[in-house]
Structure 1
Amino acid sequence: MELAGLSVAQAITKVYDNSKYSRVLICCGPGNNGGDGLVAARHLFHFGYKPNIFYPKQSKKELYERLVIQCQSLEIPIVTELSNSSLTNDNDLIVDALFGFSFTGEIRPPFDEVIQKLKVTNIPPIVSVDIPSGWDVEKGNVNNHGLKPSMLISLTAPKLCANYFNGKHFLGGRFIPPGLKEKYELNLPLYPGTDQVVDITDLPSEKL
């Protein structure tokens, strides 16, 4: 989770410079995807951004509580409510860390309302972590129920739904053991230098 969150933060720095996109709202869900968002918020702070965290349903697990404490120690604001005016007026960039690839079923309150707010056309650009919230992990944005981010940061390996995404696309998660790559026949691109992310926007899906 630490390396995944670092990957998210590093990918953001490559596209959204903090001179123009300093105010970043990280929307965190209750699971691992939200944990990645909490870690990303901390790294974005150290990279010179001004993160705010929207975390309406905080996990009671010790891991997530510790991640919250780390953000609080940096005085990163954490809120549980989100208004339409704050979305459009108080933020330059929004990070969607609500739901990851393992989420199934109907999106329940309060997140159904959150996703509807994030689908408003005049809000800042959205960066989704692993898969856009509301998307089917294989079929993509079925019935147009999900978000339409400007950038996607796939973690570990791109999910099938990434084939339906047309924006800026990064792969993060430089931590896969060689044995795991061989077992699942993962054909992953090389990471440049010491980066935790690689730009795969123009890489054909059959190359992954």
Structure 2
Amino acid sequence: MRALVTGRQMKEIDAYTIHTIGIPSLVLMERAAMAVVKEVKRLAAELKGKEAGQVRIWSLCGPGNNGADGVAAARILCLEGYQAEILMAGDPGRQSDECKVQLDIARHVGVVVREWQRAKGESCDILIDAVFGVGLTRPVEGDFKECLVMAAESGASKVASVDMPSGIHSDTGAVMGAAVKADVTVTFGWEKAGTVLYPGRSYGGRVVMADIGLPSQALAVVKKNGTGEYMFTCDEKDLKRIPGRPAYSNKGTFGRVLIAAGSKNMCGAAYLSALAAYRTGAGLVKLLTVEENREILQQRLPEAIIDTYTAKQLMEEREKFERMIEEQMSWADVVVLGPGLGREPYVEYLVEDIMTSAHVPVIIDADGLNTIAAHPYLTSYYTESITITPHLGEMARLTGESIADIQENVAAAAKAYADRYGITCVLKDAATVVAGKAAGIYINSSGSSAMAKAGSGDVLTGIIAGLIAIGMEEDAAVMGVYLHGRAGEEAAKLKGQHSLLASDLADCIGKAMKQV
């Protein structure tokens, strides 16, 4: 797992490195500038028919240390023969000491420095965006907003942002009024949460994490001090944490998954969750569904055990039904509750019976969540073994907040709900967030827009359940979300961005797990 940091945390890391470790800020700045130069030269090489001396580069710089990085990068590029010049934004009287030093050096070696307004109507080949760094916390207005608009109209074929795309909040990924859209973002030390969360992720382009000499102990100190939430994401090597399959084993070794899902003529969600649980490695999967679904589910997934009930039994034979549910709970190692259940009156009783009888991990999704939203007393049955997997609409119904308010800070919304009830919350979005028992907040970096299809969430619940079944309870939600995204990437390669179906996701789980 790799760490993600907020703007405040990054500032504290810088301060610790400079004042406690003793590495001068100008040394760090020079290394940062060299990292930016490396990527700008790579972009320049992609410009067909232009030698270095023909490539016009603007370094658009703010008055802070982010701007100072941009000034230093322009100076290095100019000395290497590129047509690099510096466009300054902001009040000169508010320039940081480092920015002033870098500007003096640039002028002494002959780099052109001028105000950004003087470039209006002109154009460049490559734009270096160094207006704002990680410290932006308020909307971009006035001259700065005009400056970012000019950057968008500069005609640049390529854009390289320094640390963060200017105008993107480094913690939430929100567009703060106006923002630069980069082809590459060169970030220092650790990636910022704002380039993993949307919409910031769509503005950052290819994110390059540059080592400029920030010591890992600086991050450890910030984590220990508890400044803000610790956030992280996964990459391919984390797949090795998924348990292997011992040679001496049987189907019982790999756990029993019970999936309470499906209503009359709505068995697709049940099928997809069960298929995904099996593909992830579960040894036994049982579907608890209405009688009308028995035949089709037996045909579609003969590997699954099918137990059924009727709405009449559930409503009119309460004691008998509750005993049946208790028996089902004693059989299961993990329960999925909700996919495709519908919103008939009997569903409330089913959800309550399972939540009160389960002594194993329960994953609640879809209509299970809608039922809880409609009957808030059901939250009293939440335990630390419960994982919920709402999309933004379901989260809005659970919390009473608007989707727009939740989108402003998806990570904070997931964390607040998880902390309030002591559960794990998997808040599904283009960059899904997991908050709960694990230390910190997980932000997913896998997947693609090809996965935005009906049934994708049902596959996710099955994957998480399958991971719990094979012995990965503590990190199942995090790894399940990451694996789900990887399966989506593999399926998109086979089916294309438009043609992927949820069943393709399930069928590609094995390929996504190839590192296990």
Q: State how far apart, in whole Å, the 2-side matches of 1:62 and 1:118 are.
A: 25
Q: State how far apart, in whole Å, the 2-side matches of 1:45 and 1:142 are.
A: 32
Q: State how far apart, in whole Å, the 2-side matches of 1:169 and 1:150 are.
A: 9
- For residue 207 of structure 2, what is the aligned residue in structure 1? 169
Q: Is the 8 A contact 1:41 1:53 kept in 2?
A: yes
Q: Is the 8 A contact 2:168 2:176 kept in 1?
A: no
- For residue 192 of structure 1, what is the aligned residue in structure 2? none
Amino acid at match of 1:179: Q
The equivalences for 1:126-137 within 5 A come to 126-137=159-170
Q: Is the 8 A contact 2:70 2:130 kept in 1?
A: yes
**1:141 positional shift:** 4.5
- For residue 4 of structure 1, what is the aligned residue in structure 2? 32
**1:162 positional shift:** 1.4
Pair 1:154 & 2:187 matched: yes
Alpha-carbon distance change, 63 to 167 in structure 1, aligned in 2, over 3 angstroms: closer
Which one of 135, 142, 147 corresponds to residue 175 of structure 2? 142
Q: Is the 8 A contact 1:126 1:151 kept in 2?
A: yes
Amino acid at match of 2:121: S
Q: State how far apart, in whole Å, the 2-side matches of 1:28 and 1:46 are.
A: 18
Amino acid at match of 1:161: G
**1:109 positional shift:** 3.1
- For residue 36 of structure 1, what is the aligned residue in structure 2? 69
Alpha-carbon distance change, 25 to 158 in structure 1, aligned in 2, over 3 angstroms: same
Pair 1:67 & 2:105 matched: no
The equivalences for 1:1-208 within 5 A come to 1-17=29-45, 19=51, 22-57=55-90, 58=92, 59-80=94-115, 81-86=117-122, 88=123, 91-120=124-153, 122-142=155-175, 145-163=178-196, 164-165=201-202, 167-183=205-221, 184=223, 205=445
Q: Is the 8 A contact 2:63 2:96 kept in 1?
A: no
Higher relative contact order (CA 8 A, sep 6+): 1
Q: State how far apart, in whole Å, the 2-side matches of 1:74 and 1:8 are.
A: 19
- For residue 200 of structure 1, what is the aligned residue in structure 2? none
Q: State how far apart, in whole Å, the 1-side matches of 2:190 and 2:118 are.
A: 31
Q: State how far apart, in whole Å, the 2-side matches of 1:142 and 1:60 are.
A: 24
Q: State how far apart, in whole Å, the 2-side matches of 1:61 and 1:153 are.
A: 21
- Deviations along 1:66-120, one digit per CA (max 9) or x if unpaired, are 211110112111111244421x2xx210100000111211224321101112223
- Deviations along 1:135-193, one digit per CA (max 9) or x if unpaired, are 12133243773121111111221111212146222112330213225444889x9xxxx
Amino acid at match of 1:19: E
**Secondary structure in structure 2 of the residue aligned to 1:142:** coil
Q: State how far apart, in whole Å, the 2-side matches of 1:11 and 1:151 are.
A: 8
Larger Rg: 2
Is 177-186 or 112-121 further displaced after alignment? 177-186
Alpha-carbon distance change, 161 to 178 in structure 1, aligned in 2, over 3 angstroms: closer
Q: State how far apart, in whole Å, the 2-side matches of 1:171 and 1:69 are.
A: 28
Q: TM-score, normalised by structure 2?
A: 0.34
Superposed CA RMSD in Å reads 2.8
Equivalent pairs, count = 189
Q: State how far apart, in whole Å, the 1-side matches of 2:97 and 2:154 are.
A: 37
Q: State how far apart, in whole Å, the 1-side matches of 2:129 and 2:62 are.
A: 9
**1:50 positional shift:** 1.8
Q: State how far apart, in whole Å, the 1-side matches of 2:193 and 2:97 are.
A: 32
Q: State how far apart, in whole Å, the 1-side matches of 2:99 and 2:155 are.
A: 32
Alpha-carbon distance change, 144 to 176 in structure 1, aligned in 2, over 3 angstroms: same
**1:16 positional shift:** 2.1
Q: State how far apart, in whole Å, the 2-side matches of 1:110 and 1:125 are.
A: 23
Q: State how far apart, in whole Å, the 2-side matches of 1:96 and 1:19 are.
A: 22
**Secondary structure in structure 1 of the residue aligned to 2:142:** coil
Q: Is the 8 A contact 1:22 1:50 kept in 2?
A: yes
Structure 2, unmatched stretches of 5+, are 1-28, 224-229, 236-443, 447-516
Q: State how far apart, in whole Å, the 2-side matches of 1:127 and 1:60 are.
A: 22
- For residue 489 of structure 2, what is the aligned residue in structure 1? none
Q: TM-score, normalised by structure 1?
A: 0.78
